[in-house]
Every structure is written in structure tokens, then in C-alpha cells.
Amino acid sequence: MSAEDEQPEPDAPVGGEESDLSAKLFGTWDVSEIEYADPSTERYINVTPIAHTAGRHASKQFQKSQVSIVERFINRLMQTEENTGKKLQTLNLVRDAFDIVHERTEENPVQVLVSAVENAAPREETVRLKYGGISVPKAVDVAPQRRVDQALKFIAEGVHSASFKSATPAEEAIATQLIGAANYDVQTYAISQKEEKERVAAAAR
């Protein structure tokens, strides 16, 4: 066999990732029938049975949307001073949180995460425009990819604020935030932040 014959096919999945969704996330959760309520963000909420890809898309601009939303959520949870780099620990926390979500809602926790991201994604925000020497707020529509980024940020911040220096276990905080955001509970941190952003934008129209 020549060296050319040993090269992988151009369209072969990188790192052995399966091209279909026949596998299950964490060996438990089916991701083949996830439903999307918001068509604008559907393209940017990718769901795969792979929760750890070792950053294969990190060097490519905008390729983060090809990463599973579960892995993106795990990465967001790590973006604090105390948790930076603790990927496997955070992955285990999310796995445990998914079990809690399923016990409380009897729904697929991946579907709950997708619904939470869709609900927590702000549609409007404000930018600062300068006219002469005066700074004026202006309401603008939020791009779909940024909406998903903002939703993940709000949910992760809610988890951190609920569990840091608190008796609440991290997996419990994750489950509570996901369920609250999926149900559009305005008492949930992510939903309250979204509502606040849109309220400020409405005042700046």
C-alpha cells in the first residue's frame, strides 16, 4: 500500500467523530430529534454526541458554531478565575446536572439546554454612537451568532453567582438555571439579563 493510499478521505470526520447522530451524548441522551423554536438561531446551535473535541475549531474564525452547544456551554462555565482549564471536572458537573434536569422535568436535558439558550438570547441591545463630542445610545438588532454567545454567557454567569461561595452544589445550580431559562422564568438570572438588555434597547429607540 502506498503512502497516498493511507491518507484519510477529504470528507472523513476529524478525529474519528461520527458523521451521524446515532451515538448518544454521555452514552445516555439522544440528540437526533432536537427541536428548535427559533429559526434565526437554529444554524448556530449545533447538537452532536461529542462533548469534548479538544479545541479543533479554535484556530478558525467563526468555527465555534460548528462545536456542539453542550461543549460550548462547558467551555463557558470554565471562563472564571477559579475554574479555568478544568474541562473534565466541568464536563462531569454538566453530566450530573443533566441527570438532575431529567429527574425534575422528565425531558431530554439537551432539549432543555437548547430551549434555555433560545429563550435567553437577547434580540436587541444598545451601541454608543458619537455625534460631535456627544455619546448617544442607539438600539440595534443582535446578530444570531452573538445572540447564542450572549445566552451562554448569561446562563454561565447565573450558575457562577448561584454556586460560588455558596452551599448550593454546582450541578444543582446548573440544573436550576437551565430549567428556569427553558421555562422563561424571569427570576432566572439569564432571563432577567435578557429582559434588561431589551428594556434598555427599547428605551434607546
Residue 50's contacts (CB-CB under 8 Å, 6 or more residues apart) are 17, 18, 68, 71
The SS3 assignment for 16 reads helix
Q: Which of 154, 159, 147, 164 is nearest to 190 (CA)?
A: 154
Pairing of strands 24-25, 29-30: antiparallel
- From first to last of its 205 residues, the chain has per-residue pLDDT tens of 444 454 444 444 444 444 455 678 888 888 888 999 999 999 999 998 888 887 777 778 888 888 899 999 999 998 877 777 788 899 999 999 999 999 999 999 999 999 999 999 999 999 989 888 898 889 999 999 999 999 999 999 999 999 888 888 999 999 999 999 999 999 999 999 999 999 999 998 8
pTM of the model: 0.82
**Which residues are 128's β-sheet partners?**
137
E strands present in the chain: 24-25, 29-30, 124-131, 134-141
Q: Pick 24-119+144-187's CATH classification: 3.40.50.1820, 1.10.455.10, 3.60.15.10, 3.40.50.620.
A: 1.10.455.10
